Amino acid sequence: MTLGFDTLQVHAGARPDPATGARQVPIYQTTAYAFRDAEHAAKLFNLEEVGYIYSRLTNPTVAALQERVATLEGGAGAVCCSSGHAAQIMALFPLMAPGRNVVVSTRLYGGSVTQFSQTIKRFGWSAKFVDIDDMDAIANAIDDDTRAVFCESIANPGGHIADLRSVADVAKKAGLPLIVDNTTATPYLCRPIEHGATLVVHSLTKYLTGNGTVTGGAVVDSGTFDWSASDKFPSLSQPEPAYHGLKFHETFGALAFTFHGIAIGLRDLGMTLNPQAAHYTLMGIETLSLRMDRHCANAQKIAEWLEGHEAVAGVTYAGLKSSPYHARMAQVCPKGASGLFTVALKSGYEGCVKFVGALELFSHVANLGDTRSLVIHPASTTHRQLNEDQQRASGASPDVVRISIGIETAEDLIADLDQALAKAG
C-alpha cells in the first residue's frame, strides 16, 4: 500500500513502543544501551549487527526521526545531527578531502555562504560559487577535484527556485552527487530526490520542527548514487582502516552513505542530535503539511498585498506572477512557494531598519519557518559578513527585508505591516 504524505508525516518511523506499548515515540533519555553479552557487543562494534551502542551514534528517538525524514523525502536513509550547518558538513565529509572542491550556488543562506567561502578552507576544502541558473557555468566550474554540486531548492532569503532537474543532469554527467538544501521548501512542497538529487540536507530548526524550539539537522541519502563507479569517493568505495578494511558501499549498498554518516561521521565528528530535540521535531512533523499549506496561503496573500503598496519597490515571492521563478514553481514545488520572501523598500537601508523596528506582531529574530511571523534585515544581520556583491547575489541587498510568514490570521499580519510601512516612510 502506498501511503499518502499526510499519513506518513504522522506514522513513518514510529510504532507502539515494544517494551511498554507507549503510542507516542518515547524520549529515550539514555547515553548507553546494555549489551546481551560480549559477542553481541563485538558484532555491534564490527557493524555486523545493527543496534544501539551509545547515543553519540544512535538513539531510538533519533532513529524514529531519521526514518520519518528519510521516508518523507523518498530516500533510502537519513542521519540526523545537531544543526543544519552540521548537516552540511556531515554531507560533505565523506566526499571531500584536502584539495577537493564543491561547486555551490551563489543563492544560499548567508551562513552557508560563510561556511563554504571561509570555514571549510580550514579542512583544505574549497567552494566555487556559480549562478545556479547557468548550466554552462556549473559545468565549467567542475574540475577533476570537484566532489559535489550544492544548491537550495527554494533559496533563503530570495525565494529563488532552482531548476533541480537540469542541475542534477549536469552533476550526473560529471559523475558527481547533487546535494540539495531543502530547508525552505520541506519535503511537502518539494522532493529533490525525485528531481535527481543524490543527497538532501535540512535544517530541522525551521519548518520541519516548525515552532522555534529546536536546533537540528538531517542528511538524507537517495541511495541511488554509485560511489564505486569512479575512484573519486574512496571513503565510501575503498577499505576503511577504522573498520578492519570494510568497504561501505560494497557492504551496505544503498545505505552506504547513511551507515558512513553514523559509523564515521557521528562517531568521530560528534555532531549528534539529542533525543529531546528529536522528540520536538517528530511532534512538529506530524502537522507539516497543514502548516505548510497555511504558510503558503498566507505568504501568497501578503506578498500580493505588499506588491501593490506604494512604499514597496519589489517582492521576491515565487508565488507572484511577476516573479521570474513563477513558471518554475509548477515543475519544482507545485503546491506552493513556502512562506519566505524578501521585500525591497523604496526607503532603502534606513527605511528597512525603521520598518523592522516598527513591527509589533512580527518578531525581529534570526530564524524562519516558525508558526509565528518573523522578520529580519539580512544586510545588517545574517548576511552582515558578506560583501555587497555577495549580498546582492544571495538576494540580500541592503534595501531588502526578509519575511517569514507564520500561520496567524493573514489580515492581522497585513495590518501590522501596513502600520510599520507608514512609519518607515
* Binding site residues, ligand PLP, CB under 6 A: 83-85, 109, 111-112, 152, 156, 181, 183-184, 203, 205, 215, 217, 368
Distance of alpha carbon 23 from alpha carbon 333, whole angstroms: 33
Distance of alpha carbon 45 from alpha carbon 34, whole angstroms: 13
Instruction: Give the nearer residue to ligand PLP in terms of CB position, either 152 or 221.
Output: 152
Please choose, from the candidates 202, 259, 195, the residue with its C-alpha nearest in 3D space to the C-alpha of residue 227. Answer: 259
Instruction: Give the nearer residue to ligand PLP in terms of CB position, either 52 or 123.
Output: 123
Kindly state the smallest distance separating residue 156's Cβ from ligand PLP, in Å. 4
Instruction: Give the nearer residue to ligand PLP in terms of CB position, either 55 or 205.
Output: 205
Q: Please name the residue ranges forming H helices in 238-382.
A: 248-252, 256-260, 275-285, 288-307, 326-332, 348-358
What the block records as the C-alpha cell of 16 is 507502539
Instruction: Give the nearer residue to ligand PLP in terms of CB position, either 190 or 424.
Output: 190
Q: Is 179 exposed, middle or buried (0-12, 13-18, 19+ CB in 10 A)?
A: buried
Kindly state the smallest distance separating residue 17's Cβ from ligand PLP, in Å. 28
Omega before residue 98 within 30° of 0, cis: no
Distance of alpha carbon 156 from alpha carbon 186, whole angstroms: 13
Kindly state the smallest distance separating residue 357's Cβ from ligand PLP, in Å. 22
Kindly state the smallest distance separating residue 115's Cβ from ligand PLP, in Å. 8
Please choose, from the candidates 60, 334, 63, 25, the residue with its C-alpha nearest in 3D space to the C-alpha of residue 185. Answer: 334
Please choose, from the candidates 201, 208, 180, the residue with its C-alpha nearest in 3D space to the C-alpha of residue 332. Answer: 180
- DSSP of 76-138: SEEEEES-HHHHHHHHHTTT--TT-EEEEESSS-HHHHHHHHTGGGGGT-EEEEE-TT-HHHH
Kindly state the smallest distance separating residue 215's Cβ from ligand PLP, in Å. 5
Kindly state the smallest distance separating residue 85's Cβ from ligand PLP, in Å. 4
Distance of alpha carbon 138 from alpha carbon 135, whole angstroms: 5
Kindly state the smallest distance separating residue 58's Cβ from ligand PLP, in Å. 21
Instruction: Give the nearer residue to ligand PLP in terms of CB position, either 119 or 140.
Output: 119
Instruction: Give the nearer residue to ligand PLP in terms of CB position, either 161 or 424.
Output: 161
Instruction: Give the nearer residue to ligand PLP in terms of CB position, either 44 or 329.
Output: 329
Residues paired with residue 149 on neighbouring β-strands, in sequence order:
103, 178
Distance of alpha carbon 343 from alpha carbon 345, whole angstroms: 6
List the 77-81 sheet strands across, edge first.
77-81, 217-221, 199-203, 178-181, 146-152, 101-105, 126-130
Instruction: Give the nearer residue to ligand PLP in terms of CB position, either 193 or 255.
Output: 193
What the block records as the C-alpha cell of 373 is 511571523
Residue least distant from ligand PLP (Cβ): 84
Instruction: Give the nearer residue to ligand PLP in terms of CB position, either 58 or 203.
Output: 203
Q: What are the φ/ψ torsions at residue 341 (nearest 5 degrees)? A: -160, 175
Kindly state the smallest distance separating residue 68's Cβ from ligand PLP, in Å. 18
What the block records as the C-alpha cell of 210 is 516548525
Distance of alpha carbon 316 from alpha carbon 402, whole angstroms: 10
Kindly state the smallest distance separating residue 177's Cβ from ligand PLP, in Å. 18
Instruction: Give the nearer residue to ligand PLP in terms of CB position, either 254 or 365.
Output: 365
Kindly state the smallest distance separating residue 113's Cβ from ligand PLP, in Å. 11
